[in-house]
Amino acid sequence: MASSHWVDRQLSKIIERALSRYTRLEVRDYASLLHLSGEYKVSELHVDTGDWLANRSLRQLKLRDEGLLVLGIERTSGEFIGTPNGETMLQEGDNIIIYGRDSTVAELSQRQHGVTGDMEHLQEVSKTERVREAEKRLDEETG
């Protein structure tokens, strides 16, 4: 999604607004700041009714275990929550700005509420652990 020029412009506007509102950091090149390369992207996901994400706190979701970081949440009211903490609840209708591997974000966007979604989460955690181990081995070999 972030490879689309239109999406990139929209995400840049959202990130710029959040940074100017909540920080004093002046950022001109978001891609280099976030190390966007390869399969890592910044994406926006809409939380629908029945989604695995809906009505759960970030702590409960454990998205970091999948290698995903929630950068911000835009509520239906227009409120923007930059750098949400673990107690922040995702609500139906939220738009979340998320950073991680494109394939993981794509899977997350399709994940349904319930046991099936919980199993998919565990599979992604396992997959992420394998990727991290492979990256660590590669760093050791080339370092």
Q: How many CB atoms lie within 10 A of CB 118?
A: 12
pLDDT of residue 13: 67
pLDDT of residue 53: 96
Which string of DSSP letters, residue by residue, matches the chain?
-TTSHHHHHHHHHHHHHHHHHH-----S-HHHHTT--TTEEEEEEE--TTBTTTTEEHHHHTGGGGT-EEEEEE-TTS-EEES--TTPEE-TT-EEEEEEEHHHHHHHHHPBSSHHHHHHHHHHHHHHHHHHHHHHHHHHHH-
- Strands 69-74, 80-82: pairing is antiparallel
pLDDT of residue 136: 84
Rounded-to-integer distance, Cα 115 and Cα 39, Å? 28
Spell out the residues 6+ positions from residue 62 whose beta carbon is closer than 8 angstroms to its own: 121, 125
Q: What is the pLDDT of residues 57-88, one digit of tens each?
A: 999 999 999 999 999 999 999 999 988 999 99
Q: Which residues of the chain have pLDDT under 70?
A: 1-38, 143
CATH number of 38-142: 3.30.70.1450
Q: What is the pTM of this model?
A: 0.71
Q: Where are the domains of the chain?
A: 38-142
